[in-house]
Amino acid sequence: VRSCTIPCVRFEINRRLKQNSGFRLFCLLLCDLCICLYILNCGFRVCKRWKRLVKDQRLWRNVDLTSWKGVTSRILWVLLRQYLGCGLRCLRLRGLLLSARGGTFLSESWLKALSTKCPRLSKLYLLHADLRSLPSCQILPPSLQVLELRGCELPRAEPTSRKGAGSPSGIGIERLVLNNVPSFTDQHLQGLTSWERLCHLELRDTFRVTANGLRSCAAKDGVCGVEGLSRLKFLEIGITGRQGYQLHMASLGLGAGWLGLEELSLGGKEVGPGLLCASRLKDLKRLRLWDCTLSELQIARSCRMLRGLRQLEFVDVRFQPRQNPPAEEGEGGEEEEQDREEAAGADGSSDENKMADMNDPIPGLRRTLAVLLPSCTLVLTNCSVQNNED
């Protein structure tokens, strides 16, 4: 075992293993060297008990191969035929999309065999995987509940008619996470309406999704009941890594409303357009804003109509310093003055505290939201105040 120089496969071992000497010794060895498949396939001599421990399904509950760049389709078949089985719950794989060797990584036959041998697989995470050779998502294991794709390429979406757009597809995925998947389009989003159990959707850096595509998939009352993504409870839209995206603004599609949507997460360039439409979400209870720049007045105006909001969270948000511009004629100046009067009336602070909060918008934001949304909880994580000395 010590003479093996091949990169090791990392296994995440369940802590509740059987308490005996064999398992304790095996766990200690796996923490440092994580026995390679090559050991059992190239003539290394091990005892029968050691080989039996290697194939114990409790050791193959959570398999993470994302840090090993040498995984090929051949190794995947060896894994599936000799080691993976009914004990597998979570599988994380790294594809060959950015590799110089290329080639087919996940084939249709392998996914069908995975469905047969691993009937309890509930989570699949794919990194840099090329899925364009697959016919559709229906060949994925039916036991999947969570599917996460990062930096992957998807097959072309099949055109769906309006009559068959909401028909069940047999896919039981409840949570779908897409991170930097450039091939995901409005047609793919429309195809998700047939996923009858989808309740959690995250769209990060999916720049081909437009406002019209999001608007067409929103849950709304139709002739045959609620149409669109009717079971969706959580939606995240965020764009942080692509220039020139201001022309799309997919979050403007929320302006038509969304029945049953309780949690909304907006990030990057989608925060501004999304806040303009958040008041149309009548069932919204939690709002999360991340990686953006906001002002106190912008937040107050956007949250004025969100009376049912129970939690407002800011993550990595840069707040603009408070400014006191000269009063201008028009309705805009009256609204700003009203917001400040309401916030000041809710707090009996002294003049010293007011001077200390002059440039810091966070205390003023707390007071303003306490008046506008008294039942809402404010959460701030890793936030800062922008310095505009220039």
The phi, psi pair for 178, rounded to 5°, reads -120, 115
- Rounded to the nearest 10 degrees, the angle between the axes of helix 296-303 and helix 361-372 is 10
pLDDT by residue for the chain (390 residues), tens digit each?
333 434 443 343 444 344 454 555 555 454 333 444 444 454 456 667 767 777 778 778 888 888 877 788 888 898 898 888 998 999 999 988 877 666 678 889 999 999 999 999 999 999 999 898 888 888 999 999 999 999 999 988 876 554 445 556 678 899 999 999 989 999 999 999 999 899 999 999 998 999 999 999 999 887 777 889 999 999 999 998 765 555 568 999 999 899 999 999 999 999 999 999 999 999 999 999 999 999 988 898 988 889 899 999 999 999 988 765 544 444 545 555 555 555 445 444 455 455 445 556 688 888 888 999 999 999 999 998 887 654
| Residues 197 and 163: beta-carbon distance below 8 Å | no
- Quote the pTM value: 0.80
Spans of all domains in the chain: 287-321+359-389
| Residues 53 and 21: beta-carbon distance below 8 Å | no
Name the one residue in this structure whose structure tokens are 């036959």: 109
> SS3 of 378, please?
strand
Sign of the Cα torsion 309, 315, 316, 319 reads positive
